[in-house]
Structure 1
């Protein structure tokens, strides 16, 4: 069956099996394209489109000739005839028409105009059809791009908005109101270069195609963007380390002030509130803005509130008024309204706010009359500490003086203050407020900042992630940490990165918390992750509602945040450095008691549920409780479970889990196990607990060595584990060790050894109690033994009995893995008997079940078996696909078992396809893995491949490994 690809978006073409086809004349080609789009047409329809000027006899003859040429060029079965009426594109053929994909996803598949540069002479009906269809697709595309552009603007995604606008320029979309909207958005986001680039592209398109220029309104907007970019460039940020990435916010506030200066009260907003957590850069932003405005001769007054003055009545306004009077004295100008404030008996904090406010308004109006040639700007920083009367006066001033050239910029932390919330709501109602919310720097912004401030720190590729982990993008924390690292000759991240400025910021965040709230934070800091109410109650056994009351206040203060997940609501510190600071203030003794209590709680929970995901909790808390034996006990249990997925073919995992973040080196057993063994050997005591740890270490290292092919050391360690398990009467590790010996026997094809250890396992089942999946495991291994010794009846009898039982229990992960193994064993028996169809059925079941579980070596085995079956059924393309999947699975899990078999059959397949060099590469890989895989079938297959390679010129294959005695 031929593969046909028809391209109609842009210049049309037809490719059959990789070869581009040429038609004898355009009407034949046009007819084929018409059928490809329409799928099913009538003969009369084709004649009416292409041969409307011919008589009926000539037209039908021309149609028959055209269809003959189409079949000859593209394929005899490409067109199907439904009687004498219909002509259809054969749906059973492998034909790909790009217009079909364009209809489904126009954004991804619109590669140019429909059938551009294609013309059929004297075929007006066909030309009309092409034009209509071309216009329909283009309109569909423009509509989709416009929607994406609007979504990007709404999401504040400048790069996507510019990209989609550029796509519309390419298709000659001329609605300038749309382009002005995008340009305005890019300007507001301080993306001046993107805006200029988009304008230039649009202007060039107009000039080339219409010899026109953009509308006057569009040109005026572009002039504004150019002037603004020049203005910002002329005032570089003085504190670049804190201010980087805030140009967008700087422009937004600056633009609001300029708008108010020009339009006055008609501009709407006369107040900007900058909000963000402590240290995020609010003060730096206001400082840069003040510098910018002062250099433009605006009159600027400012005040920074502080917590110690939060109870002082009207203190911020008194200070502003003092600055006003000082300014007037320097200008040798006296304000009559200021005489009211000269009387100290009236101006102290005891006067009524209403009376004070009236005279303040009079003074400001008088000041604006004398000095209002430019905008008067008031800056208030940290208004979360402003007294309530001053906030109310701020509100009144903004309402009553909106006709004056006065503009106020204030900054506040995120914590909830009722008076500020009331102010925000009141001003929003009148559209007098613009809110600017500063967020932490992203990872990319952090990298750019480091490049400017301390590029040498990026020499170590791990530094960026470490810096971001410590600072989480907080501008002040980031600046302070960079200073500390630059002072450190090695440029290393310090163990305790908290500087005095960082501590000061954190302490200010924790001010005015109650003793109970401090206690709750201490409890939360004991955990290394987000906490639930259940976690908190381990150490703080108070009623839930009381705890929620405390949490809600901490949420209001922005010290913690709430995450509503699918399983449970969790609480996090808003910054890791706050977590670390709070934890550092707990005494060592209390901290150890806390950890011991938490560890005990989770240990009991683990014993009740067997939930392996609790292991990281147990390890962390036992370690910090200084109980090293318990720490190592659970660490070894954790690794035993985790590595079973990569070191066993069908691991009986009790639960799938992905807690690799707790141990970043888990991708390599060797990196973890060897240092762990050395730590355990260094323990001072040699009591029973120590012997149990040594037993578990021997098991883990032995299993690792056996799975990686280091059989000598693996057997030594595994035998040491068996002896220790017998002495300690640990039936669980004895069973697990026997199973490892069985897996080793399978690997080296020592069937006598396999039989011996299956017998040992069966004896343990009679003596001890095990999990429900263990007897099934022994049974299927017994079936595998019978299969390998060609006692197929016995093997089939066991498997036919096991499979229904396991199918009922497949919701249990350990039983599901056993079911996959049974399907695979049953399929392999059919393969040995040459029953490839039945084998295909069982391996398909194994693969279907595998997709619902964690990837294991067994999945690679199933892929390999399916590849062999398809090879035997002469379906070489699909066989190659499954061999590739098997190889990928083995590589991802770093597994050697089964790879020799896959590579050997892949080599045989490559030879079948005539790819000798590729076959040699696969053969060499198979030989490498066969050094540790003694399967006689695989080794015999390698000898077959070797013989075929020897017969080919220019190839010098190495001899394959010999079959060991125990495998014969």
Structure 2
């Protein structure tokens, strides 16, 4: 019996006996899908469903044709049976397996739901079918949600939290506003002690709700979050060495005096406590707070966490939230407009009399107009009429840029004497903190207290206070001071050694001996674990520990538990993986430097080999490449280091130097792979140096020869993209020759493609077709299906460039079909397909069918937006802008051009940029922005010369022609441009027509002729169009 397998969830796919089946047009697929779900249907039902608005006889005729095409798609298999003249059904003698049926029938089946019903499918002119499809989609999604919720309850009861997390994330994937799912996820993290994960989950739902719905998590979710914070605080308190305070008398007096003056309306300053990690900043702050009479002042306090610095204005949101609580509890009157704005900033404030919502887009936008600053300032003024305000920010070095900027503005410019700030900050350098200190030093409103290390006398007092029952000799006390140099953290570490009754004499040098004392009584198994952990700058996974120690996970956990008890290692969770890291980086450094060079190399190499096993051959691998480079580099394994440096750089450059890059596995991680120009140059130099070293060591191994080809490819395409053609072509031609010698076919084709790109940029069509044909021949010989699709696109572009538009469109369709053979391939090559739509737009534009052209450009733009890729869309936006300009819609054109230029600023690519800038010069002139127009024109001039693209150069000369003619009629244009446009009009016309003819841009040529004819311009040469 034949077997048909159908996938309707997460996209459509059908196979007959393992062979993929495709349908000639959408309505045939729609007919098949409907029958799969309904099992049988009448002809009237089907014709009405698929051809709703057509006359009955035409609809029936279309149905007969669709039935014929459906049957033909399955070849000799009779997929349909006709129960009577009016009823059609699927043949019950064929085994038809449908994922939806299995999903519905099996109550516990979840994995089959890989996405919404017929995802992305939308037949034209079939409103009734669309309504049925949406209803079915909603029903299946609701069923899936119920199944997930049922499974979650089951796994919660069994305390299987990994599964709970997995199912909650699936719920959130369906509905990003599902607070119940987030709440279960947060509580699951809480049960496992994964507090950081819980906080990230809360921040995510909080940010999503605020951004999309201008609201905040409900009371239950907020309560769960606060419970997490309480648990974290309790855990931190349990881990504190001992709750005592010593010294800092002068520092405490300074804070108190400023506070007393502040309360009594005398001259005072805010206070910033600065010092290295572990120096006692928080202890000093807490000691001061014990002195306060809380009823005399409002205290708003928040901590800045390192893991929250990616959340814009998070510390200030906490403060604003506390402010609204005071407003509500103390019934402080606020103007309605102010209430509305606060609600938009912190929707959780929930004023009862909240009137019409004043929508504010984002916190970043608010910063531009000082809205947040003004709002908080106004609220502070009103609240401080009752009592003065003390605001405390801890660890401001972890504030995000927007928060630190707002803090600087408040501290520097708030005129009222009703607010005092108390801040703590590590003495670490960041640009934001540096700017903050510059700002507060200029305003003179903040007194900075820098906590220094204890001197010898203070260390003695510290020891006596910390260890009152220990009668330490002066000699021991002096030794402690000498070895710790008065650093509070290391002083405490040393006292821990004493309390543990370890031999104090093992300290033979400063910091190293203090650290060494922490490892004196560790076992051989513990030592092996920490030696492996010391190889990692960040954390070591259980997988690495298991493989290198050859112990099972429970045994490893027993060993690590001992190390955790000694506060040497701590457990963390990263991307749902259990990992371990040192409690202090100095502990890791000490262990690492005490490994022998030979042992380091062996272990690093083993780690590298293990990490290679985790590669998945997709874009996410680039997060592992840099780790592989680090370990192989430290293992002095130069050939493996080179291998992964090349792979890593190629991932970056594929999105910087390819106009239409391949998107591996529809993964959005590629948004993170952009490289700056300087970083690119630096990496290329490093790889060249490493290649030379590998050549010296390994000679002419095939792998080394391949690396040589890869490096030539990287250099060549970088230079060609920058317009440095001579050197770039030299590298690529050398690369092609070497690739041919070693039968490195995929890179031979890459070389041909780079030469094709060069020919495209410089309009060298004769050479271009040679490389296309060579590439196609080799790709067909090697059966490189996807490369054939790309080369067909490039052949279509060649035909477009020489004016063979009919052949071009035929090849475009062929390319799209080739690159759409499966959903996976069409996803990966979406930008190549978008480029095909762009080419059709170009053809329509050249034939003055501007409306149609714009539709195709927008189709290309939408495809890029769907894949969230910016590298290609700038060119499509530019083409859409040019077309809109030709249609006379300058506002629409300006929008496209501005979008394009914003994208160009983010990347090194300048392909098409000169065109956008040239037309923006004309638009700026129409808006009487003459200085802006000159700037656009100068940039366009420079960028067009960089790539030597005749289309771009011709466009710039055509714009110069128009501006030059306008100078005769407008004194302002003349004054602005006369120094720059100092050549004759005839020269601009001649150059414009020369380059535009080269690319067959007849529309712009006609514009030039029209300009000079309408301007009644006379030339020594005849440029008047006959």
- TM normalised by structure 1 equals 0.51
> 1:516-559 CA deviation, whole Å, 9 max, x = no partner?
11111111222344222122233222111222222333334332
SS for the counterpart of 2:570 is strand
Q: Kindly indicate whether the alpha-carbon contact (under 8 Å) linking 1:904 and 1:923 is maintained by their aligned counterparts in 2.
A: yes
Q: Kindly indicate whether the alpha-carbon contact (under 8 Å) linking 1:650 and 1:856 is maintained by their aligned counterparts in 2.
A: no
Q: Kindly indicate whether the alpha-carbon contact (under 8 Å) linking 1:777 and 1:818 is maintained by their aligned counterparts in 2.
A: yes
Residues 875 and 577 (structure 1), Cα distance of their counterparts in 2 relative to 1, 3 Å cut: farther
Q: In the alignment, is residue 775 of structure 1 matched against residue 788 of structure 2?
A: yes
> 1:365-402 CA deviation, whole Å, 9 max, x = no partner?
xxxxxxxxxxxxxx9998856879x9xxxxxxxxxxxx
Q: In the alignment, is residue 623 of structure 1 matched against residue 640 of structure 2?
A: no
> In structure 2, what is the equivalent of residue 634 of structure 1?
644
Q: Distance in 1 between matches of 2:783 and 2:614?
A: 21
- 1:711 corresponds, among 718, 725, 737, to 725
**1:444-463 aligned within 5 A:** none
> In structure 2, what is the equivalent of residue 834 of structure 1?
848
> In structure 1, what is the equivalent of residue 798 of structure 2?
785
Q: Distance in 2 between matches of 1:825 and 1:745?
A: 16
SS for the counterpart of 1:895 is coil
Residues 833 and 499 (structure 1), Cα distance of their counterparts in 2 relative to 1, 3 Å cut: farther
Q: Distance in 2 between matches of 1:791 and 1:674?
A: 43
Q: Distance in 2 between matches of 1:632 and 1:546?
A: 37
Q: Distance in 2 between matches of 1:541 and 1:919?
A: 69
Q: Distance in 2 between matches of 1:661 and 1:499?
A: 47
Q: Distance in 1 between matches of 2:373 and 2:963?
A: 57
> In structure 1, what is the equivalent of residue 378 of structure 2?
167
Q: Distance in 2 between matches of 1:885 and 1:144?
A: 28
Q: Kindly indicate whether the alpha-carbon contact (under 8 Å) linking 2:531 and 2:595 is maintained by their aligned counterparts in 1.
A: yes
> In structure 1, what is the equivalent of residue 593 of structure 2?
584
**1:718-867 aligned within 5 A:** 718-770=732-784, 773-803=786-816, 806=819, 809=823, 814-853=828-867, 855-867=869-881
Q: Kindly indicate whether the alpha-carbon contact (under 8 Å) linking 2:790 and 2:815 is maintained by their aligned counterparts in 1.
A: no
Residues 917 and 545 (structure 1), Cα distance of their counterparts in 2 relative to 1, 3 Å cut: same
Q: Kindly indicate whether the alpha-carbon contact (under 8 Å) linking 1:169 and 1:201 is maintained by their aligned counterparts in 2.
A: no
Q: Kindly indicate whether the alpha-carbon contact (under 8 Å) linking 1:142 and 1:168 is maintained by their aligned counterparts in 2.
A: no
Q: Distance in 1 between matches of 2:372 and 2:464?
A: 38
**1:378-397 aligned within 5 A:** none
> In structure 2, what is the equivalent of residue 697 of structure 1?
711
Q: Distance in 2 between matches of 1:175 and 1:743?
A: 71
**1:120-269 aligned within 5 A:** 136-137=336-337, 167-168=378-379, 170-171=381-382, 174-176=385-387, 179=388, 182-183=389-390, 201-202=417-418
Q: Kindly indicate whether the alpha-carbon contact (under 8 Å) linking 1:560 and 1:573 is maintained by their aligned counterparts in 2.
A: yes
Q: Distance in 1 between matches of 2:562 and 2:818?
A: 55
Q: In the alignment, is residue 884 of structure 1 matched against residue 898 of structure 2?
A: yes
SS for the counterpart of 1:646 is coil
> In structure 2, what is the equivalent of residue 680 of structure 1?
691
Residues 948 and 813 (structure 1), Cα distance of their counterparts in 2 relative to 1, 3 Å cut: same
Residues 932 and 146 (structure 1), Cα distance of their counterparts in 2 relative to 1, 3 Å cut: closer
Q: Distance in 2 between matches of 1:888 and 1:589?
A: 51
> 1:723-756 CA deviation, whole Å, 9 max, x = no partner?
1001111112111111111111110011112211
> In structure 2, what is the equivalent of residue 427 of structure 1?
none
Residues 511 and 877 (structure 1), Cα distance of their counterparts in 2 relative to 1, 3 Å cut: farther
Residues 666 and 565 (structure 1), Cα distance of their counterparts in 2 relative to 1, 3 Å cut: farther
Q: Distance in 2 between matches of 1:940 and 1:768?
A: 40
Q: Distance in 2 between matches of 1:161 and 1:868?
A: 39
SS for the counterpart of 2:540 is coil
> 1:627-654 CA deviation, whole Å, 9 max, x = no partner?
2123223322322232121112112254
> In structure 1, what is the equivalent of residue 943 of structure 2?
929
Q: Distance in 2 between matches of 1:530 and 1:799?
A: 50
SS for the counterpart of 1:526 is coil
Q: In the alignment, is residue 519 of structure 1 matched against residue 528 of structure 2?
A: yes
> In structure 2, what is the equivalent of residue 670 of structure 1?
681
Kindly state the Cα deviation for residue 711 of structure 1 after the two structures are TM-superposed.
0.7
Q: Distance in 2 between matches of 1:573 and 1:751?
A: 61
> In structure 1, what is the equivalent of residue 86 of structure 2?
none
Q: Distance in 2 between matches of 1:196 and 1:642?
A: 42
> In structure 1, what is the equivalent of residue 580 of structure 2?
571
SS for the counterpart of 1:503 is helix
Q: Kindly indicate whether the alpha-carbon contact (under 8 Å) linking 1:183 and 1:195 is maintained by their aligned counterparts in 2.
A: no
Q: Distance in 1 between matches of 2:561 and 2:669?
A: 32
> 1:899-932 CA deviation, whole Å, 9 max, x = no partner?
2222222233334444444333322322222224
> In structure 2, what is the equivalent of residue 539 of structure 1?
548
SS for the counterpart of 1:622 is helix
> 1:158-199 CA deviation, whole Å, 9 max, x = no partner?
xx99998863453376444xx4xx449799x9x9xx999999
Q: Kindly indicate whether the alpha-carbon contact (under 8 Å) linking 2:772 and 2:795 is maintained by their aligned counterparts in 1.
A: yes
Q: Kindly indicate whether the alpha-carbon contact (under 8 Å) linking 1:165 and 1:198 is maintained by their aligned counterparts in 2.
A: no
Residues 726 and 557 (structure 1), Cα distance of their counterparts in 2 relative to 1, 3 Å cut: same
Q: In the alignment, is residue 904 of structure 1 matched against residue 918 of structure 2?
A: yes
Q: Distance in 2 between matches of 1:301 and 1:668?
A: 50
SS for the counterpart of 1:846 is helix
Q: Distance in 1 between matches of 2:599 and 2:460?
A: 49
Q: Distance in 2 between matches of 1:583 and 1:848?
A: 51
> In structure 2, what is the equivalent of residue 895 of structure 1?
909
Q: Distance in 1 between matches of 2:587 and 2:662?
A: 42
Q: Distance in 2 between matches of 1:614 and 1:654?
A: 16
Moved more, 903-912 or 755-764: 903-912
> In structure 1, what is the equivalent of residue 559 of structure 2?
550
Q: Distance in 2 between matches of 1:917 and 1:387?
A: 74
Q: Distance in 2 between matches of 1:701 and 1:563?
A: 41
Q: Distance in 2 between matches of 1:141 and 1:941?
A: 48
SS for the counterpart of 2:829 is helix
Unpaired runs of 5+ in structure 2?
A: 1-210, 217-312, 317-332, 351-370, 397-406, 429-449, 475-490, 502-506, 968-973, 1001-1026
Q: Distance in 1 between matches of 2:850 and 2:372?
A: 56
Q: Distance in 1 between matches of 2:463 and 2:692?
A: 69
Q: Distance in 2 between matches of 1:499 and 1:923?
A: 70
Kindly state the Cα deviation for residue 613 of structure 1 after the two structures are TM-superposed.
3.6
Residues 749 and 856 (structure 1), Cα distance of their counterparts in 2 relative to 1, 3 Å cut: farther
Q: CA RMSD in A?
A: 5.1
> 1:332-354 CA deviation, whole Å, 9 max, x = no partner?
xxxxxxxxxxxxxxxxxxxxxxx
Q: Kindly indicate whether the alpha-carbon contact (under 8 Å) linking 2:215 and 2:346 is maintained by their aligned counterparts in 1.
A: no
Q: Kindly indicate whether the alpha-carbon contact (under 8 Å) linking 2:779 and 2:788 is maintained by their aligned counterparts in 1.
A: yes
Q: Distance in 2 between matches of 1:789 and 1:946?
A: 26
Q: Distance in 1 between matches of 2:455 and 2:343?
A: 39
SS for the counterpart of 2:595 is coil
Residues 716 and 899 (structure 1), Cα distance of their counterparts in 2 relative to 1, 3 Å cut: same
Q: Kindly indicate whether the alpha-carbon contact (under 8 Å) linking 1:783 and 1:794 is maintained by their aligned counterparts in 2.
A: yes
Q: Distance in 2 between matches of 1:693 and 1:161?
A: 54
Q: Kindly indicate whether the alpha-carbon contact (under 8 Å) linking 1:283 and 1:381 is maintained by their aligned counterparts in 2.
A: no
Q: Kindly indicate whether the alpha-carbon contact (under 8 Å) linking 2:653 and 2:675 is maintained by their aligned counterparts in 1.
A: no
- TM normalised by structure 2 equals 0.49
